[in-house]
Each structure stands twice: as structure tokens, then as C-alpha cells.
Structure 1
Amino acid sequence: MHIILLHNRDHDLLEDDPGREAREDVVRVAESLAHALSRDGVVAEPLAIEGDRLDFVEALRFLQPDLVVNLCESLAADSRGEMAVPCLLDALGLPYTGSSALSLGLALHKPKAKDVLRAHGVSTPASFVVRKREDALAVDLPWPLIVKPAREDASVGMDFDSVVTERSALVRACESVLRTFHQPALVEQFIPGREVYVPLLGNSPRQALPLTEIHFGRAFDDRPNIVSYRAKWEAESPEYRDSPTGPCRLDAVQEARCIQTALEAFAALDCQDYGRVDLRVSPEGVPYVIDINPNCDLHPGAGFAKAAQAAGMDYAALASRIVEVALERAHGNPHTRKKGPGTARRVDPANRNLLAGGAGLRHRAG
């Protein structure tokens, strides 16, 4: 089997990039997965998308891999380019891991994602979109509030000043987002309480891996308990040191409620294969969806891999399972099926991508 690990390599493209560390991490993830998958007859090799060049399309057309592991989180250091990659893979008729362009686009457009969640009855904090400074003066939500870029992920643009308790601080935080990221600011009601992550794997049925939680330490004393950009990416910072991810211990009823909320959120955005739903659990025990990560970080040291490890799945087994899930969804069969004309096919699952074609049509579209 030939697998291509497609990833962005654009972390050094911009002189001033507020998301540089997050973009650079993708290169390391591709290398780790290539090593984990290259065994038992599998050839797995990384293929980088350099800046805004699209010559990778011709490379894939020539290589015709059995599967593309889609690790792209941006194009030309712009997160909005993430959703373009599945579109191109669909056009090439190549199966790929992870969610479709629509799901990735919705998840990245946080206000739209929240609209979809509310339409499906999934709990998420009340919010307001600020497109210009004057909009911040019209926000009418209960304090405290949290301000974040509306179309970024990986905690980009988040620091302690993102949580505000009065109007002037709200205006300053919104102006910072508008000026730095050239996009709207999403203002949300800040939910005090625990930050719980629900890792999800599979399609039909979808499995919740062991839940994890951020354990906030001394660096967060008398400060907002949030996973800032420094806490997520700057390994030498006190915030990084004092916000480890660890097992989440909830009673059975509360855990089931968190898992159900995460499953409903993932399904509402029509996400596929694997991902993570981030929750804030209020002191009253209500789980609120604060973020949906359809193609979450697969670094061996990241939370998703740690959750898989807690479920008895080492990194190589996790990588193989993600490949299996994607191929089963794309083909409607386990990838180990017998090949050739006349081979019986399994009944298609309800969530199968109907663009997936057979011989002579669209070649295994994802």
C-alpha cells in the first residue's frame, strides 16, 4: 500500500506569523506518522505543500497513492486554505483521511459552526461577532467574556487578556484581533469550570477515546484558566509547563453527558474519521462546546495520541486505525478486502460519501 502524508510547510513564509509554531508542528507530525506507518508492506512518505504552490496536485496525479493522509492546516500560512485541500483531493478522485472541505470550513468559521450547533440543539456559549470597533460597544452578554479570532484554530490569538470583565478591556481585545488577524473577533460568554476534551475515532459506529482534561497549575493562579497560544506551543513558558493534559475523572453520568454532547457536535458538522471536541463544563455540570477540531493534532505527544494510549492503542496502532477508518469509509469495505471483478461488496453504511465511485468512474473519492 502506498500512502502519501500531505502537509503544509509554510511556517517560514511570513516574516511576522502569529501562528508559526502551530504551522511548524505539522512537519513533525508528518515525519512521525510516516515512521509509524512504514511497515508490513506499507510505504508512507510525506509530501509538502510549499507556500502557495499547487504543484503537489500534479505530483499526486502522477503517484496515484492508495490513500492521502491529509495533515494540511493552511495554505500560504492562511488557515482558510485548509478547506481547499479536500476539494482538490476530491477532484483527483483520491481517498483521504479526515473531514471534508465543508466540515473543515465550518469548524474554522467559528460563528457559523456555532449557528449549526445551536440549530441542532447542542449547547455552546452565547456569542457576538465583532467586525469593527463600534460593534464591541454593542455587545450585550453576561460578563466575563472571552475574545478570539473568528477563523483561527490551535489557540492562535489567545492570551490572558482575551478574557475580559469590563467594556474597555473588551474593546482593546477586539481591536487587537481586528488589527493582527484582519478578521472578525468572536466574543463568547466565558464559562468558568473544567476544560474537557473528547477525542473521537471512527464513523459507524463512532468511538470516544478516554476523556482528557487540562490541569491548570500555579501559572494560572488568579488568572483565567484558558489554553492560550503560549500554553499550547511555547514549551519554555510557565503557561505551557503548568497546563498539562491528563486523565479526566468524571462520574459515569457526567462523562456520558460530555460524550453525547461531543458526538452530537461532531455529527452536526458532518465530521469524519477522527477529531476532538473541546468542552467547558460549568460548575453546574453543563458541557458547552467551545471548539470542534475535525482533523486534530496527531503528534505522538499530543492529547489525541495520549488518549489512544490510555485506550491501549500505541502510536503505530493509532496511525493504522486512522488509515483503516478512512479506507472503510471511502470504499464501503474494509481495506483488506479481496480485489478483482465480481468481488462481493459490503452494504454501504449510512454515512458513506456518495461521491465514492467504482472502477472506471471516480477512483475511490474520499
Structure 2
Amino acid sequence: MHIVILHNRDHDLLEDDPGREAREDVMRVASALSEALSRGDTHAEPLAVEGDRLDFVDTLRRMQPDLVINLCESVAADSRGEMVIPCLLDMMGLPYTGSSALSLGLALHKPKAKELLRGRGVSTPPFAVVERLEDVMSVDLAFPLIVKPAREDASVGVDFDSVVEDRAGLARAAEAVLSTFHQPALVEQFIRGREIYVPLLGNAPRRALPLTEIRFGAAFENRPNIVSYKAKWEEDSPECQDSPSVPCRLEDTALEARLVRTAMDAFTALDCVDYGRVDLRVTPEGVPYVIDINPNCDLHPGAGFAKAAAAAGMDYPALAARLVEIALERAHGNPSHRKKGPGAARSAHPQNRNVLAGRGGVRRRAGGSRAHAE
């Protein structure tokens, strides 16, 4: 089997990139998956999406891999480009791991995701959107609040100052988002309590891996218990060292079932598939609130998802192999209990899946021409 591990390589594209560490990490994930999967008759090789170039499209068309593992979280250092990749893979008719462009786009557009969650009856903190600094005066939410970029992930733009106790602090935090990220600020009611993650794996059936929790240590005394960008990516920072991800110990089985059900409902609401993680804040009274949905979560062997899989008895090579199997099952329409081995039949591809078949590439717009994409 030939597998291509597609990942962004754009961490050094911008001189001042507030998400540089997160963008750089994906290359280490690609390397780890390549090593884990390349055994026997399986060859897995990384392929980078360089800046805003689309050369990888022609490369993939020549290679025609059996599967693409999609690790791309941005294009040209812009997180909004994440949804471009599944669109192109769909147009080429190549099966890939993870969620569709629609799901990735919804998860990244946090206000739209929250509107959808509320419409489906999934608990999420009350929120408002600040598009201009003047909008701060019309925010009608109970303090404390947390302010973050509306269209970023990986805790980009989140620090201790993101949690505010009054309108003056709200104005400062919103102005920082507007001026740094040039996008709206999402303002949410800050939920005091535990931060618990629910890793999800599979489609039919979908299962929850063992839950994990952030243990906030000394660096968070008298400060907001939040996973800031430093806590997530700057390994030498006190915030990172004092906020490890640990197994979640819940003696209340009913509460655990409620957390898993909430995460499952959130994942379904955004039509996510294959794997991902739902982040929850849980009040002392046991009320869960969805604060983020990560359909393209970190698959590094040292990250929380792989640790949760290990707690379920699945080492990293086994997890990598299972991700491949799940994606192929979904792409080819076979259930996980299908007959395996030589001669095992697969269902036919859906009609019109490959809209580029026989067309010699992406169609040009009428009246326009372009020799190549830069």
C-alpha cells in the first residue's frame, strides 16, 4: 500500500507568526506517522504543501496513492486554508483521513460552530462576536469572559490576559485580537471548572478513547486555569510544565457518560468523521460545556490523542494503522467487520466521486488562462 502523508510546511513563511510553533509541529507528526506506517508492504511518505503553492496537486496526481493522511492545518500560514486541502483531494478522487472541508471549516469558524451546537441542543458557553472595537459596549454576557480569535485553533492568541473580569479588560483583549489577527474576536462566558478532553475514534461504530484532563499546577495559582498558547507549545515555559495532560479520573460513571454523549453530539453536529477531540469545561456541579471541536487534532506520539489510545491498549503503530483502516473503510463503503485478506471484495466507489476523471486536471475558468500556480 502506498500512503502519502500530506502536511503544511509554512512555519517560516511569515516574519512575525503568532502560530509558528503549532505550524512547525505538524512536520514532526508527519515524520512519526511515516515511521510508524512504513513496514511490510506499506510505504508511507511525507509530502509538504509549501507556502501557497499547489504543486502538490500535480505530484499527487502522478503518484495516485492508495490513501492520503491529511495533516494540513494551514496554507501559506493562514489557518483558513485548512479547508482547501480536502476540497482538492475530493476533486482528485483520492481517499483521505479525517473530516471534510465543510467540517474543518465549521470547526475553525468558532461562532458558526457554536451556533450549530446551540441549534442542535449541545451545551456550549454563551458567546458574542466583536468585529469592531465599538462592539465591546454591546456585549451582554456575565463576567468573567474569555476572548480569543474567532478563526484560529491550537490556542493561538490565548494567554492569561484573555480571561477578563470587567469591560475595560474586555476592550483590551478584544483590541489585541483585532489588531494582531485581523479577524473578529470570539467572546465567551468563562466556565470555571475542570478541562476535560474526549478523544473520539471511528465512525460506525464511533468510540471514545479514555478521557484526559489538564492538571493545572503552581504556575496557575491565582491565574486563570486555561490552556494558553505557551502552555500548549512552549515546552520550557512554566505554563507548559505545569499543565500536563493526564488520565481523567471520574468516580461518577453517569458524569462520564454525559461527557462522552456531549462530545459525540458535538462531533456529529459538525459532521466530523474518523477521529478527533472535543474539549469540554465541566462545572463543579457536573455540567459540561463544549469549548472546542478538533477534527484534525494533534497526532504526535507524545500528544494527548496518542496517549489516550495507549491507555486503551493501542500503541502508536497500532493507532496509525487503525486510522488508515478507518479512512479506507469509509472511503470504500465497507464496514469494519468486513472479510479481510486476498479476494475480499470492496464496495464500488460512489458515482461521480472523481469529478476530474478524464478531464486532465482542474478546469480553467472561461476566458482566463494560467500557466502555473505560484
Structure 1 and Structure 2 fold alike (TM over 0.5): yes
Partner of 2:164: 164
Q: Residue deviations 1:92-126, cap 9 Å, x none? A: 00000000000000000000000110010000000
Q: Structure 1 CA distance, aligned partners of 2:308 and 2:341?
A: 33
Indicate yes or no: 2:323 matched with 1:322.
Answer: yes
Tell me the residue number matched to 1:85: 85
For structure 2, the 5+ residue unaligned runs are: 360-374
Contact between 1:8 and 1:73, CA under 8 Å: does it hold in 2? yes
Tell me the equivalent position of 1:51: 51
Task: State yes or no: 1:295 paired with 2:296.
Answer: yes
Are the structure 2 counterparts of residues 61 and 253 from structure 1 closer, same or farther at C-alpha, using a change threshold of 3 Å?
same
**C-alpha deviation, 1:137, in angstroms:** 1.2
| Contact 2:90-2:353 within 8 A present in 1 as well | no
Check conservation: 1:331, 1:356, Cα contact below 8 A. Answer: no
Q: Which amino acid letter does the alignment assign opposite residue 289 of structure 1?
A: V
Q: Deviations over 1:169-221 (max 9, x none)?
A: 00000000000000000000000000000000000010100000000000000
> Residue 246 of structure 1 corresponds to which residue in structure 2?
246
Matching residue of 1:212:
212
* C-alpha separation in 2, matches of 1:55 and 1:356: 22
Deviation digits for residues 27-71 of structure 1, max 9, x if unmatched?
Answer: 000000000000121000000011000000000000000000000
Residues 260/162 of structure 1: CA separation in 2 closer, same or farther (3 Å cut):
same
Deviations for 1:283-332, whole angstroms, at most 9, x for unmatched residues? 11110000000010000000000000000000000000000000000001
Determine the C-alpha separation between the residues in 2 that align with 1:158 and 1:8.
22
CA distance in 2, matches of 1:272, 1:186: 25
- Counterpart residue type for residue 312 of structure 2: A
Distance change (3 Å), C-alpha of 1:252 and 1:201 = same
* Structure 1 residue 37 corresponds to structure 2 residue 37: yes
Q: C-alpha deviations, 1:136-156, integer Å up to 9, x for none?
A: 111110110000000000000
Query: Following the alignment from structure 1 to structure 2, what is the Cα–Cα distance between the partners of residues 355 and 232?
Result: 42
Q: 1:62 is matched with which residue?
A: 62
What are the superposed Cα offsets for residues 226-251 of structure 1, whole Å, 9 maximum, x if unpaired? Answer: 00000000001000000000010112
1:26 Cα deviation after fit: 0.3
- Match of 1:137, SS state, is helix
Distance in 1, matches of 2:199 and 2:302, equals: 14
Q: Secondary structure at the match of 2:138?
A: coil
**In structure 1, distance between residues paired with 2:210 and 2:341:** 34
Q: State, as a whole percentage, how many aligned pairs show the same letter.
A: 73
Call closer, same or farther: CA 1:344–1:300 in 2, change over 3 Å. closer
Residue 223 to residue 271, structure 1, CA distance change in 2 (3 Å): same
Superposition deviation, residue 338 in structure 1: 6.2
Structure 1 length-normalised TM: 0.94
2:118 is aligned to 118
Instruction: Give distance in 2, aligned partners of 1:274 and 1:112.
Output: 21
> Amino acid of the residue matched to residue 115 of structure 2?
D
* Aligned residue number for residue 364 of structure 2: none
Question: Which aligned pairs between 1:217-296 and structure 2 lie closer than 5 A?
Answer: 217-250=217-250, 251-296=252-297
Structure 2 counterpart of 1:197, one-letter code: Y
Measured in 1, the distance between the counterparts of 2:75 and 2:346 equals: 37
Corresponding residue pairs, total: 355
Kindly provide the amino acid, as one letter, of the partner of residue 60 in structure 2: L
The yes-or-no answer on 1:312 pairing with 2:313 is yes
Q: Is the 8 A contact 1:34 1:45 kept in 2?
A: yes
